[in-house]
Amino acid sequence: MKRILVTGGAGFIGSHLCGKLLDMGHEVICLDNYFTGSKRNIVHLLDNPYFELIRHDVTMPLFVETDEIYNLACPASPVHYQYNGIKTIKTSVMGAINTLGLAKRTKSKVLQASTSEIYGDPEVHPQHEGYWGNVNPLGPRACYDEGKRCAETLFMNYHEQNKVRIKIARIFNTYGPKMNANDGRVVSNFIVQALKGNDITIYGDGTHTRSFQYIDDLLDGFVKLMDTPDSFIGPVNLGNPVEFTIRSLAEMVIEMTGSKSKIIYLPLPQDDPKQRKPDISLAKKELNWAPTVDLETGLARTIEYFSKTI
Ligand code: NAD
Ligand code: UDP
């Protein structure tokens, strides 16, 4: 049994991860400041004696004893990370410094939840880990993208200078139950709009693409990455390589919900990446990992969740 800290543990991905790690027989400390997460996501775990909850902001140092750390604390949807860009940068950068300092003191292994936003609006397709990216450092997405890029740099420096055992996961668009219904991400937006009979809001003409990964696949990738030998640190892409246009996603959601909603087209936000699809050959080779849940199956589970909760 290991004692594992999950920062951002009350969020969408973090709450699923806390549940999985407890099921695997570990002790879990969930840390969150509830900016975008919610106690509702982890309330079912509170009776478990091996689960602890800490209200804390990762921009402040933390003293606990741990064996492993998953650093997930950071708002992830454009609406939420742009709400207070300065705070988003502080969370990524100071959060990384505090988490790495903790890992250094406790000799914990630490996994960083990085992102496909490292690649910005990519000119290389699909995106492989060797691509340095195309990020506008001054645009509306920069607080998130550059914060996460700096966090990767900090992880690498703590590894090289202080021998901290690190893992860097570059996560591509992930969806599933417990997404925040109001956070503006495309899967939750379209499902909620379809279930309520509201207009489905496509930004741009709907020809831009994303590749959608179901939460269970990501969690498998996380655990496999954490278990790799110390010599493997990544970065490694974790995403589903099947690419969809945003318009085809809207049509799938309308069909699967039997909704009468109509599609409307709104302006595409500045710097919105036009295409995104992970090259997962490194994850296949080093983690023996590939996603197993197709979009239709994952959407069905997510639609069922939102139809009970909204
Ligand atoms: P989320 O918003 O549901 O979860 C983030 C959690 O971090 C929330 O519970 C929030 O309250 C907490 N948090 C935010 N700032 C904090 C702070 N200063 N101190 C403590 N807690 C703080 O988002 P998510 O989708 O679960 O994303 C989790 C992580 O995965 C993020 O780091 C995100 O950047 C990364 N990621 C997610 C995706 C995705 O598609 N979901 C893709 C790439 C990367
Ligand atoms: N999007 C959309 N309608 C919405 C929400 C998002 O067309 O109601 C688009 C958005 O412009 C982007 C894609 O869907 O091109 C994915 O957006 P999301 O916010 O989920 O993630 P990210 O842009 O960070 O990949």
254-274 pLDDT tens trace: 999 999 999 999 999 999 999
Pick the catalytic residue from 70, 81, 119, 144.
144
Q: Residue 266's pLDDT is what?
A: 98
Per-residue pLDDT tens over the stretch 83-118: 999 999 999 999 999 999 999 999 999 999 999 999
Confidence of residue 298 (pLDDT cuts 50, 70, 90): very high
Residue with tokens 């969806």: 175
- Choose which residue among 36, 77, 118, 186 to substitute to test ligand 2 binding: the one with the highest number of ligand atoms within 8 A of its C-beta: 186
Asked whether 32 lines ligand 1 (CB < 6 A), one says: yes
Angle at 141 between CA 233 and CA 170, to 5 degrees: 20
Q: Residue 202's pLDDT is what?
A: 98
Nearest CA to ligand 2 atom 21: 185
Q: Residue 300's pLDDT is what?
A: 98
Please state the three-class secondary structure of the chain as a single string. Answer: CCEEEEECCCCHHHHHHHHHHHHCCCEEEEEECCCCCCHHHCHHHCCCCCEEEEECCCCCCCCCCCCEEEECCCCCCHHHHCCCHHHHHHHHHHHHHHHHHHHHHHCCEEEEEEEHHHHECCCCCCECCCCCCECCCCCCCHHHHHHHHHHHHHHHHHHHHHCCCEEEEEECCEECCCCCCCCCCHHHHHHHHHHHCCCEEEECCCCCEEECEEHHHHHHHHHHHHCCCCCCCCCEEECCCCEEEHHHHHHHHHHHHCCCCCEEEECCCCCCCCCCCECCHHHHHHHCCCCCCCHHHHHHHHHHHHHHHC
CB 99 within 8 A of CB 71: yes
Asked whether 210 lines ligand 2 (CB < 6 A), one says: yes
Q: What is the mean pLDDT of residues 208-218?
A: 98
Atom of ligand 2 nearest to the CA of 203: 7
Q: Both tokens of residue 164?
A: 């901290």
Write down the CATH number for the domain with range 3-178+213-241+275-292. Answer: 3.40.50.720
Per-residue pLDDT tens over the stretch 30-69: 999 999 999 999 999 999 999 999 999 999 999 999 999 9
Distance 180 CA to ligand 2 centre (A): 14
Per-residue pLDDT tens over the stretch 120-141: 999 999 999 999 999 999 999 9
Q: What is the mean pLDDT of residues 224-237?
A: 98
Q: Residue 73's pLDDT is what?
A: 98
Distance 186 CA to ligand 2 centre (A): 5
Domain spans of the chain, in order of start: 3-178+213-241+275-292
User: Among this protein's residues, is 203 annotated catalytic?
Assistant: no
